[in-house]
Structures are given as C-alpha cells and as structure tokens.
C-alpha cells in the first residue's frame, strides 16, 4: 500500500456531557496535537495522572470515540471518513491493548475466540490448519503454552496470561501501531517486565510503533524513546525520555518526577514483598508461566 503510515492528531478536543459542572460539560481532552510515525519504529509514552484524559485519547485514536473538535488522520485521511479499503488498512494497522485483562474477554466464550476473530476478520489464514499454526506461533511468541491457555474460559486464566493473549493477538496482526492503554497497571512486577520486554521485541522485530499510556514513570524509563506528559487534557511537555526526565521544563513534570519513590534499598525491599504476595494469589500460577518456553 502506498499510504504513509502516520497517525496525526490536530487540536483534538473531547468533551462529555456532565452534570454538576458550571457549563454542563467536562473537558476530558482540551487540546491534543501529536504525530506518531511508523518509521522508525519507536515507543512514545503518554504519561499523566488519573483522569488526565489518556484513555480518552486512546479511544479517539482507535476510532472508538469521535472527538468533539479537531481531526485525527491516518495516512493523511480523517479516520472517521475512510472508505472501505482505507478503513481496513487503518484497522489492520492501529490495534489496542487495553488496561483491564478481565473485562476484555467476553465471559461467554473461550479465550480462543479472540484470536480466531482476528484470523477471520483480517483474513490472516486461508485454512483452519494455517490459522491454528498461526495462533500457536503467536502464543509462543508471548511465552504462553498454547496447551495451557487454548480451550479455557477467561476466568480460568490469570491476568498476566490474559494480557499476553492480547499481545499474541497483536503478534498475529502485526499492526504498524499499538495503542497500549495502561496495559501493565494490573499486572505484578515480574509479568509486567515480561510484557514490556515482549512489546520492545515487537518494536525491534516486527517494526511496531507503540503509543504507551501509563501513569507510572518507572515504566516510561524502562521503555525509553519519546514521552509526552499530559495533565488536565493538555499535553504540557514532550521530548526524549532522558531529556524530559533530567531537565523537565513544565512544573507538572517536575511534580510527577518528585513523586517517584527514591531508589533506596529499603523501599525496594517493601515492593518485593508485596510482589511475592500478589504473585501467590492468582489461581493459576503466573510465576511458573513467566519463564519463556521454547
């Protein structure tokens, strides 16, 4: 395809009807303009506190919510005015990983369905065997044992397993852009690192650009690349991660940086303990799943 793979937001504004506000509106996104390039593949983090409008931007970019004002283009065309082929191209290339690994699965169906849906809707395989092979390959790419997850219902899997099934779906689709809305915020530290490493692998090996939404600066650090800081629906600072972290120019970024726990050994020790507790709780042991198979 000849369309240039670029997502561009221009002065995007999103308001919602809301009771109890002076003018009856709540402005979730005030004015967001930025551009995501598929070339070179990169990670762009969008960081901000709860309620700053991050998820709303993700839903706008994914075409799930039409902004009140401003435009979002893919390959230079408004994503809400695409023709059939342009739409297919856009859908194929802009795919999400959502925050909550629980409600992302319809409780009525086995987890396989999500993967088969992708195979069928995007014509990834022409035969059933080819589809099965693709699904197995993608599950292995995210360190999941197909035999242990296929045929199960969502509630029979751990959060980490479910979230990696979403990554397997991404692996199958190989979109140019992954819109990841706090994908690790509900995972424990080990699975979190595994997840981020897989995402970085995807960037390197399959050339995916990720818009990584988070409220956690240590994740931003870990991923590197570019970062945008959002507060109250407005992007107040942007630049390479190292630069923004070392010489923040906006007071809000400084505030965010100050709220990171200091790297002293005692503090780290406490987090370790909580991690071990949470790793022990899920019914299916996530810790044993964490070691890559192959």
Partner 1 sequence: MRILNAVLRTVRNSGRLATGLVILAVMVLLALLSPLIVQWIGGGTDPIEVAAYEKWLVPSGDHVLGTDQFGRDVLAMVLSALSVSLQIGAIAGVISTVVGVVVAFVAGYKGGWIDNVLSTFTGILLVIPTFPLLIALSAYAKNVSLFQVGVMISIFSWPFAAKTIRSQVLSLRSRPYVDLARVSKARDLEIITTELLPNLLPFIGVGFASSALGAIFGLVGLEVIGLGPGGVIDLGQIIFNAINTGALTLGAWPMFVVPIVLLTLLFAALNMINIGLEEVYNPRLRGVAGE
CA distances from 55 to 179, 182, 213, 231 (A): 10, 9, 8, 12
Q: Is residue 155 near partner 1 by the rule CB under 8 A?
A: yes
| By CB under 6 A, residue 50 contacts ligand ATP | yes
Pick one of 108, 204, 262, 263: the residue that binds partner 1 (CB under 8 A): 108
Stretch that binds partner 1, among 15-23, 116-124, 196-204, 263-271 (CB under 8 A): 116-124
> How are strands ordered across the β-sheet holding 43-47?
77-78, 69-74, 6-17, 25-37, 234-240, 226-231, 43-47, 209-214, 177-181, 94-97
The residue within the footprint of partner 1, chosen from 34, 74, 105, 195 (CB under 8 A), is 105
∠ CA(124), CA(130), CA(134), 5° rounding? 65
Q: Does 96 bind partner 1 (CB under 8 A)?
A: yes
The residues in 20-59 that bind partner 1, with binding defined as CB under 8 A, are 59
d(CA 277, CA 173): 35
Which residue in 16, 25, 80, 109 binds ligand ATP (CB under 6 A)? 16
| Number of residues counted as binding ligand ATP (CB under 6 A) | 12
Task: Give the Cα separation of 208 and 53 in Å (integer).
Answer: 24
Number of residues that bind partner 1 (CB under 8 A): 25
Nearer of residues 100 and 216 to partner 1, judged by Cβ = 100
CB 67 within 8 A of CB 12: yes
Q: Which of 109, 179, 167, 107 is nearest to 135 (CA)?
A: 167
CA nearest neighbour of 250 among 265, 232, 263: 232
CA 68 to chain centre: 23
- In this structure, the strands spanning 43-47 and 77-78 are unpaired
Q: Which residue is closest to Mg ion by CB?
A: 55
Q: Are 69 and 13 in contact (CB under 8 A)?
A: yes
Where does this chain touch partner 1 (CB under 8 A) — which range of 39-47, 90-98, 255-263, 286-294? 90-98
Smallest gap from residue 231 Cβ to partner 1 (A)? 25
Please, what is the minimum distance in Å from the beta carbon of residue 244 to partner 1? 30
Q: Which of 42, 56, 138, 143 forms a contact with ligand ATP (CB under 6 A)?
A: 56
Strand 6-17 and strand 25-37: the pairing is: antiparallel
Residue among 84, 111, 95 nearest 173 (CA): 95
> Residues 60-89 vs partner 1: string with x where CB under 8 A?
--xxx-----------------------x-
Of partner 1, Mg ion, ligand ATP, none, which one sits near residue 16, judging by CB under 5 to 8 A according to partner kind? ligand ATP
Binding site for ligand ATP (CB under 6 A): 16, 26, 28, 48, 50-56, 215
Binding site for partner 1 (CB under 8 A): 59, 62-64, 88, 91, 94-96, 98, 100, 103-109, 114, 117-118, 121-122, 153, 155
């Amino acid at each position: 395809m000849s369309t240039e793979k670029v997502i561009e937001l221009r002065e995007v504004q999103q308001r919602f009807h809301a009771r109890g506000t002076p003018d009856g509106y709540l402005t979730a996104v005030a004015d967001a303009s930025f551009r995501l390039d598929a070339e070179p593949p990169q990670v762009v983090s969008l960081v901000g506190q709860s309620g700053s409008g991050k998820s709303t931007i993700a839903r706008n970019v994914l075409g799930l919510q039409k902004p009140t004002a401003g435009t979002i283009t893919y390959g230079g065309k408004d994503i809400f005015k695409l023709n059939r082929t342009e739409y297919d191209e856009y859908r194929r290339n802009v795919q999400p990983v959502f925050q909550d690994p629980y409600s992302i699965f319809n409780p009525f169906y086995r987890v396989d369905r999500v993967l088969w849906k992708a195979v069928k809707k995007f014509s990834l395989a022409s035969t059933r065997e080819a589809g099965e092979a693709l699904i197995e390959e993608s599950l292995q790419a995210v360190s999941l044992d197909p035999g242990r997850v296929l045929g199960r219902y969502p509630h029979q899997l751990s959060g980490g397993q479910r979230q990696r099934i979403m990554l397997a779906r991404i692996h199958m689709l190989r979109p140019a852009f992954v819109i990841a809305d706090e994908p690790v915020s509900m995972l424990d530290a080990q699975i979190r690192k595994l997840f981020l490493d897989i995402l970085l692998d995807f960037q390197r090996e399959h050339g995916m650009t990720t818009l990584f939404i988070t409220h956690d600066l240590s994740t931003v650090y870990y991923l590197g690349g570019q970062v945008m800081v959002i507060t109250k629906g407005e992007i107040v600072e942007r630049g390479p991660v190292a630069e923004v972290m070392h010489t923040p120019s906006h007071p809000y970024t400084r505030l965010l940086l100050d709220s990171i726990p200091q790297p002293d050994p005692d503090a780290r020790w406490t987090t370790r303990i909580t991690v071990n507790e949470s790793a022990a709780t899920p019914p299916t042991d996530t810790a044993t799943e964490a070691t890559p198979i192959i």
